[in-house]
Amino acid sequence: MHDLLSRDEYHAIADGIVPMTNSYINGKFTSAKSGKTYPTTNPATGEVIAEIASCDKTDVDYTVKKARQAFESGVWSRMHPGERKEILIRLVKLMKRNRYELQVLESIDSGKPIREIATIDFPETLECLAWYAEAGDKLYDQISPSTDDAMGLIVREPIGVVACILPWNFPLQMLGWKAGPALAAGNSVIVKPASETSMSALRVAELAGEAGVPPGVFNVITGPGSTVGEALGTHEDIGAISFTGSTEIGRRVLEYSAGSNLKKVTLELGGKNPAVVLEDAEELDYVADQVVRAMFWNMGENCSSNSRLIVHRKHKEELCRRIHDKLRDWKIGDPLDPQNGLGSMVSKKHFDDVMRYIEVGRKEGAEVIAGGEALDIGSGLFIAPTIFDKVTPDMTIAKDEIFGPVLTIHSVGSDDEAISLANDTVYGLHATVFCAHGKKALRAARRIQAGTVTVNSYCEGDITTPFGGYKLSGFGGRDNGLHAFDQYTETKTIWLDLGEHEIDARLE
């Protein structure tokens, strides 16, 4: 599955792509009712790739109506889970067959390196969809403890119409994480991709139709978050929203729910995740490799990137030296060149935000020890992997989620100090602990307030393990694992009275 083509082959595919530009609603590509479009660009070249349908509330209302009709018809919601499985597995096979096109679409729309998409994002997306397809017909419900006189059935039911609002940093993978379990559970799903990166989702929707997902069951609606996102958030007939993106917008989604029909809300938000190198850390070469990967993978546009390196002072100098060495292996440039591990920032706005943070870091007195500048590669939005030393916890770059390739280094004098500093953040999504002493590592993992803590390597877990955040990093539920089904199902009690009730004649 990890087959990489050459740069020229990828460019040839890119040149031949005719992107889908309309929303996929009720089984058909549909333009916005208003006729409006907006441009989507390839941030690595500055080129406008396509004009995408810019939908609004009218289109959302229509989509929800169709999704609701499909749900009520039972064509998917009451289909045998085993049949849903077959169809979703067919989708996975179709995606696999069309992998080069999907991978290139993803890369040119987002600036992500093709190497990363082909070897990580894409195979993991297929694995995720297949996992939920397979899980759907293996979920047993429950019966309550009782006597012979009664029985309580505790059953899960699909919620109805479910919306998934996606970020731009892992467009396909986030679609898999959310639409996978939502569909497997029998819901009608409306995906709203980030406006920067809608094209791969549209192609997946088309393939879903080809695989046999009935019209109205899987819809992709494109357009600005401020209109389409808000219309979904406030809709009275959407039963649940799963959102990944910024904490600021996540809060708003919660407000939309509170002000409308109290739809279930799950939020996966930002992070300011620590990599914590304790006194007993060993294998510093491997630690350096993992620290670099944890920070710079996907150009730092990753909610679980480990953007704060908290290191025991005894290891600091050596670790920094090795980090510099490792950085040399991360080539940056044309995302369609599989030699490159780093691509472009997703948009000019985001590029400017990240560059501003680098300026603020300098102004507040931190010292740049690597990168610190934009790279002049064609018209792309490339930023050199940047490392700040001499960072204090009160600095802006130590507190804000930058979401770009900017690592801050904090040296500490004890493991306790390391853990307190790790927890000194409003976020709590992910953390990594490096420590060769098993008990100490596990104790630290227990004390760090984060939804996922990895010991001795950088990893987010896999499809079997729940993913989500403490504190401002999340709300309401978890993605991945069987836990994700909780987001997309209601729990119903059906109480059965099994008693023999003889009516006492004397009372009549």
Which residues participate in catalysis according to the annotation? 268, 303
195 near ligand NAD, rule: CB under 6 A: yes
358 near ligand NAD, rule: CB under 6 A: no
475 near ligand NAD, rule: CB under 6 A: no
Closer of 109 and 415 to Mn ion (Cβ): 109
- Shortest reach from residue 231's CB to ligand NAD, in Å: 9
- Shortest reach from residue 165's CB to ligand NAD, in Å: 5
Residues 217/72, Cβ–Cβ less than 8 Å: no
- Shortest reach from residue 421's CB to ligand NAD, in Å: 21
Out of 144, 226, 379, 457, the only residue in the binding site for ligand NAD (CB under 6 A) is 226
- Shortest reach from residue 300's CB to ligand NAD, in Å: 10
Residues that bind Mn ion (CB under 5 A): 40, 109, 196
Count of other CB atoms within 10 angstroms of residue 268:
28
Q: The tokens of 164 are what?
A: 């998934």
Pairing mode, strands 367-370 and 386-389: antiparallel
Choose among 292, 252, 257: nearest CA to 269: 252
- Shortest reach from residue 427's CB to ligand NAD, in Å: 10
217: which DSSP letter?
Answer: T
165 near ligand NAD, rule: CB under 6 A: yes
Closer of 395 and 444 to ligand NAD (Cβ): 395
Q: Among positive and negative, which fits the CA dihedral 173, 174, 176, 181?
A: positive
Of Mn ion, ligand NAD, none, which one does residue 111 interact with (CB within 5 to 8 Å by kind)? none
Choose among 114, 92, 108, 107: nearest CA to 2: 114
By CB under 6 A, the count of residues binding ligand NAD is: 25
Of ligand NAD, Mn ion, none, which one does residue 40 interact with (CB within 5 to 8 Å by kind)? Mn ion
For helices 438-447 and 415-423, the axis angle rounded to 10 degrees is: 30
Count Cβ neighbours within 10 Å for each residue of 157-189 and write b for 16 or more, e otherwise: ebbbbbbbbbbbbbbbbbbbbbbbbbbbbbbbb
Collapse the DSSP code of 496 into the 3-class scheme (helix H, G, I; strand E, B; otherwise coil) and give the result: strand
Among the residue ranges 189-197, 331-339, 368-376, 485-493, the one whose residues contact ligand NAD (CB under 6 A): 189-197
Binding mask 376-415 vs ligand NAD (x if CB under 6 A, - otherwise)?
-------------------------x-x------------
For helices 122-135 and 171-184, the axis angle rounded to 10 degrees is: 10
User: Using CA atoms, how far apart are residues 68 and 30, in angstroms rounded to an integer?
Assistant: 18
- Shortest reach from residue 432's CB to ligand NAD, in Å: 17
Out of 198, 219, 244, 306, the only residue in the binding site for ligand NAD (CB under 6 A) is 244
Choose among 305, 275, 297, 292: nearest CA to 403: 305
Binding mask 301-340 vs ligand NAD (x if CB under 6 A, - otherwise)?
--x-------------------------------------
Out of 169, 198, 298, 340, the only residue in the binding site for ligand NAD (CB under 6 A) is 169
Q: Could you give the C-alpha distances from 167 to 13, 177, 351, 352, in angstroms and in order?
A: 25, 12, 16, 18
351 near ligand NAD, rule: CB under 6 A: no
Closer of 109 and 121 to Mn ion (Cβ): 109
What amino acid is encoded at 93 in this protein? Answer: K
Out of 192, 308, 410, 430, the only residue in the binding site for ligand NAD (CB under 6 A) is 192
SS3 content of the chain, % helix, strand, coil (to 5): 40, 20, 35
Binding mask 38-67 vs ligand NAD (x if CB under 6 A, - otherwise)?
------------------------------
Closer of 349 and 363 to Mn ion (Cβ): 349
Residues 5/336, Cβ–Cβ less than 8 Å: no
- Shortest reach from residue 302's CB to ligand NAD, in Å: 7
Which H or E element spans position 363? helix 348-363
Closer of 452 and 456 to ligand NAD (Cβ): 452
Q: The tokens of 318 are what?
A: 């050596």
Of Mn ion, ligand NAD, none, which one does residue 109 interact with (CB within 5 to 8 Å by kind)? Mn ion
Pairing mode, strands 23-25 and 37-41: unpaired
What are the residues binding ligand NAD (CB under 6 A)? 165-169, 192, 194-195, 225-226, 229-230, 233, 244-246, 249, 252-253, 268-270, 303, 401, 403
